[in-house]
Structure 1
Amino acid sequence: MLDGGEFGRLTVRAASVRGDSHNWEGSCRQDAMVVTRIGPPEAEILLLAVADGVGSARYSHMGSHQFSRLAAVRLDREAENLYAALCSRNEVELRVLATKAIAEATGQLRAQWEKVATSRGACHADQDYATTLHVLLVPTDSRVRERVVFSVGDGGLFVLREGLWEQGGPVDDGSLLDTRTEALPHSYRSVEAKLLRTEPGEVLLLGTDGITNPLTQRDPEFARRLAHAWGRPEAPSLSDFLWQAQTRAKSYDDDRTVICVWEKPE
């Protein structure tokens, strides 16, 4: 999948590609992504989402696709409240709103999957649809500098500042269970939320673990190549971004989904 666009001073590029391991096996891409806008014009928010279906789950490709889209629908219903919470930097309220939206999506999808399973004379199992999910909200009004990322499971957000990648999403401080074990719809406690503030010239990268793991585990050459490609003032074309998103990282052959956001200075 390839997507992108211009949203005021914001430029978005997004790509989701099948990993080498899935190409070799002839299996489908289990990642999914969403690029859309939510809320009314006076409270408009750019919503970006990535989901990574758990490899061992039978229908994880369906889980990632459906969760990312239904989460966007549910968050759209809370768009004005989300915008107000962003403006007031209320991280607790943002977490509550996101947890509610994801819980509603979970309930709707679970009922849908149970109905399909019953019609086929089969048993429904939540773990068959297991997926991670990360959602980044960026107000399109440049006067609002706050952004928020909602997270369940692996992957997440990085910020490119002065040529270096910094982790921008929720980080386990050791007081919680390992978040890498968490997945929708069956094995998560709540949605993590992290507020951050960015400035023009900084690049936001939202991705599944096919791209965030090499960055997190500090593959210097991989990190440098992406920083060089995406750290320029102008965003690349869609075709160039797709090519750059497929930069190889040794020992990483999973699906890779990445969405980047550039902001033009005033």
Structure 2
Amino acid sequence: MSVTDTLTDVEWARRGGEFVGGGPPTYEAEPTALPEVAPGALADLVPDTVLDGARYGSFTLRAASTRGDSPRYRGEQRRDALLTARFGGGEDALVFVAVATGARGVPRTDRAADSLVRWMGEAVGRSRARLSEDIRTGRRAALKGGLHRLTGRTYGLMRAQAEEFGVDPAGYTAGLRCLLLSADPRCRTRVFFGTGTGGLFRLRGDEWQDLEPAPPEEEAPQAPPPAPGPPADPRLTVDLGVQPQRSAPAGPPPPGFGALVDTPDPGEPAPFAFRASEGRPGDVLLLCSPGFAEPLRGAPGLAAELGERWRGEEAPPGLAAFLGDVQLRAKGFADDRTAAALWES
């Protein structure tokens, strides 16, 4: 952690001023301006920060979503949305985590992100019994196909909502990242799916691994080329700032991960992605919005600092400590941050 010459570490922590890198970020660490709202639109307000957590089977979940430094300064609403939900009970329960980020510069995309996670949650909840069984029995092809269809239908609802609001459906969209988890302690299968920008990372021992899907021509030559959209990152992994470099080397994806990239539904902002893996004791799996993924990939010291705090042999942080970790600041990265992390035991 970097601090100024005039403030102690304790004083900076009290002021929310923890940061990595060579100097403090441009904006203040605490909220400055509230979003403007009309008297009849109070239901549309988005809180500055949400925080949640749980423990089921062999995993402990921590999740947080917070306004970025720039939106806090400018009085803008948080465009990130977070949903954590449990469907069913006992060992048959299904835990669902969704993170969405509304498109920048388009009116009401905070509503798009919030609607997207809720609609996706409703679709998953209605299909809970089948999805839970497919996860526990390892039917990955069935999971991939079913979740792709649910995602496409959900983005169709978003297009209809754009027309209702009178905005261009092409811009009224949000990126989506989801996790499906069985509450059965004997099931260690972790299912990821989504579309658009964001991040999926794994901390295994001292090594951060970037688990975002690779380009189709490298991982799945049999898949059709994706529709036009944001350019794919040509790297399977990137240097996350851990010194010395210990990111996974370029090459095949980590064992246990399927390489499944499809041509998207016309309403989706980018190709649909699906991965399933088996959680190992000591792993930390991190699902996050672009506002957290970008500094993890590009801010010197952030990944290394979080690796020290989160490494698997340590106990998972409490909710307040996890929020503090997510808010660890870096100059040049001031967007909303949303992160959901699993500690495997």
TM-score by length of 1: 0.86
User: Residue type matched to 1:236 in 2?
Assistant: P
The aligned runs of 1:67-78 (5 Å cut-off) are 67-78=116-127
Report which of the two structures shows the higher radius of gyration computed on alpha carbons. 2
Could you say which residue in structure 2 is the equivalent of 1:94? 143
2:215 aligned with 1:172? yes
User: Residue type matched to 1:152 in 2?
Assistant: T
Cα contact 1:133–1:153 (8 A) shared by 2: yes
- Count of residue pairs the alignment pairs up: 257
Structure 2 portions without partners, runs of 5+: 1-49, 219-224, 233-263
Cα contact 2:155–2:268 (8 A) shared by 1: no
Give the stretch that moved more between structures: 3-12 or 253-262: 3-12
Q: Alpha carbons of 1:189 and 1:52: their partners in 2 closer, same or farther (altered >3 Å)?
A: closer
Q: Alpha carbons of 1:8 and 1:88: their partners in 2 closer, same or farther (altered >3 Å)?
A: closer
Q: Alpha carbons of 1:87 and 1:168: their partners in 2 closer, same or farther (altered >3 Å)?
A: farther
SS in 2 for 1:129: coil
Could you say which residue in structure 2 is the equivalent of 1:32? 81
Residue 51 of structure 1: how far off its partner (Å) = 0.6
Cα contact 1:58–1:128 (8 A) shared by 2: no
Instruction: Find the aligned partners of 2:297 and 2:69 in 1 and give their Cα distance.
Output: 20
Superposed CA RMSD in Å reads: 2.5
SS in 2 for 1:235: coil
Identity of aligned residues (%): 31
Cα contact 2:279–2:344 (8 A) shared by 1: no
2:302 aligned with 1:259? no
Could you say which residue in structure 1 is the equivalent of 2:305? 225
2:92 aligned with 1:43? yes
TM-score by length of 2: 0.67
Which one has a larger percent helix, Structure 1 or Structure 2? 1
Instruction: Find the aligned partners of 1:19 and 1:46 in 2 and give their Cα distance.
Output: 27
SS in 1 for 2:331: coil
User: Residue type matched to 1:257 in 2?
Assistant: T
1:204 aligned residue (285, 291, 295) = 285
Residue 43 of structure 1: how far off its partner (Å) = 2.8
SS in 2 for 1:2: strand
Q: Alpha carbons of 1:55 and 1:67: their partners in 2 closer, same or farther (altered >3 Å)?
A: same
Could you say which residue in structure 2 is the equivalent of 1:133? 176
Structure 1 portions without partners, runs of 5+: 118-122
Residue 11 of structure 1: how far off its partner (Å) = 1.7
Q: Alpha carbons of 1:261 and 1:249: their partners in 2 closer, same or farther (altered >3 Å)?
A: same
- Cα deviations across residues 12-55 of structure 1 (Å, max 9, x unaligned)? 11111111221232211100111111245453221111111111
Instruction: Find the aligned partners of 2:61 and 2:229 in 1 and give their Cα distance.
Output: 28
